[in-house]
Structure 1
């Protein structure tokens, strides 16, 4: 009688390797999940983030109606013009706060523990930026649904495209904010001073609250170098129900360029801190 030994599986058999894209998606998802769970454990911040855009709509909406006679673009509701600017503002403030959360982790030592993990450095930046951007999706739905009874025409597909553009832009801005947080280690005042000095001029020169067409010539020239100008124009065009337009394409290109620059600078800075 002969016996054959069944070969035992080797414990040293390597696990299947993910592709670079799969690894990036997995790591980004892990970072995003960790960060969003921390947000969900703080219901006050979540509720406040939903109330803030409604407050802007309630206070600025009537003023805008009186200023431009209740008409926005092509005779549509003023909300059709005003609401996209609010969404851009929320996205800028949200993703611009990525660096402030990093400052707390630098003080507690949590950041060093994150760097000790095998997570890709780009995934750390993208995951955190997406966590700050995620509430915008909920805010956009809430504020849009609330504005419908007051004359806003809702184009779901166009709004979705607008959110994608804001998401791409937010990743780049969040990465730049992350870089600023690293540069501001042990100097928290530096982060807030630079952030406030940059964000507010960008918003004003992007025509978020008021149109720049009637502004001085120098302001119109400077606004052409501001990526937010093209983002705001793209969002407003999308909210009027127009998808295939040069403004939308320019806004998408401005978002992609900001994302690329932010990731290159951010990843390089993160690697230098290891």
Structure 2
């Protein structure tokens, strides 16, 4: 209920309505989704890179490793990793949109609205999840005729896992954009410097079992390694495998840390 105050003349007036974080977050998410709904081709176009990986890198894996891959099926091993790649690439670059809004003044106009500062970040992150799930669904449907086997329950849990990871990475990306807003070129330097080592050390593209000891040790410290392993287990229908638990734990910690840092940075934004 809104607060009621008395004016000097004795008449009752209604104070400003109490804000709702859920309502504010929904408003921000709807605002961010509107351009995507008006131009859905942008979502499809962003799938060109992962489709090239599937079309060109997948046959190389089958020809060179074949049955040496865990599980013996190249698509069951590689497609879940590509879905994680989509989450990693898409979520890590969303801070560039915030940088553009800061350059045009749109971000400052959002800051002076009564919306909660935390909703400005959470709403944006949730928008990216909608896009991510749509892209993942397209990739899975495209690969079904090529022999990729779909386990519906595992696939749904896999999408949930990707959503949790995407929230964390998006939040880190927004925090980075806010930190380097006066030197926006630094965003791409940091993003690229972190992105590729994390991707390679996750075992996303090649198995790491035959790699040197130092590489396997770094892989064990990489949260993305556990998410990739969990996605492969879930899309294989192995819902109770230990990697699934570790994957959700790694994604959950990433999301919690990313949200904490991102919300703190947004609240301090000016």
Asked whether 1:224 is paired with 2:220, we answer yes
User: TM-score normalised to the size of structure 1?
Assistant: 0.88
Indicate if the aligned counterparts of 1:125 and 1:171 stay in contact, CA closer than 8 A: no
1:130 Cα deviation after fit: 2.2
User: TM-score normalised to the size of structure 2?
Assistant: 0.90
Cα–Cα, structure 1 residues 30 and 152, in superposed 2: closer, same or farther, change >3 Å?
same
Matched residue, 1:141: 137
Q: Could you tell me which of 94, 112, 118 is aligned with 1:122?
A: 118
1:77-116 alignment runs, 5 A limit: 77-116=73-112
Q: Could you tell me which of 205, 209, 213 is aligned with 1:209?
A: 205
Matched residue, 1:259: 255
2:47 and 2:193 mapped to 1: Cα distance? 26
Cα–Cα, structure 1 residues 15 and 105, in superposed 2: closer, same or farther, change >3 Å?
closer
Matched residue, 2:162: 166
Unpaired segments of 5 or more residues in structure 2? 1-10
Cα–Cα, structure 1 residues 72 and 138, in superposed 2: closer, same or farther, change >3 Å?
farther
Please, which moves more after superposition, 56-65 or 199-208?
56-65
Question: Hey, which bits of structure 1, 4+ residues long, moved more than 6 A?
Answer: none
Matched residue, 1:49: 46
1:12 Cα deviation after fit: 3.7
Indicate if the aligned counterparts of 2:229 and 2:243 stay in contact, CA closer than 8 A: yes
Matched residue, 2:187: 191
2:248 and 2:235 mapped to 1: Cα distance? 15
Aligned length: 260
Matched residue, 1:66: 63
1:241 and 1:170 mapped to 2: Cα distance? 22
**1:12-39, CA deviations, whole angstroms, 9 ceiling, x for partnerless residues?**
4568857xxxx33222221111111112
Unpaired segments of 5 or more residues in structure 1? 1-9
Cα–Cα, structure 1 residues 273 and 136, in superposed 2: closer, same or farther, change >3 Å?
closer
Indicate if the aligned counterparts of 1:121 and 1:267 stay in contact, CA closer than 8 A: yes
Cα–Cα, structure 1 residues 207 and 106, in superposed 2: closer, same or farther, change >3 Å?
same
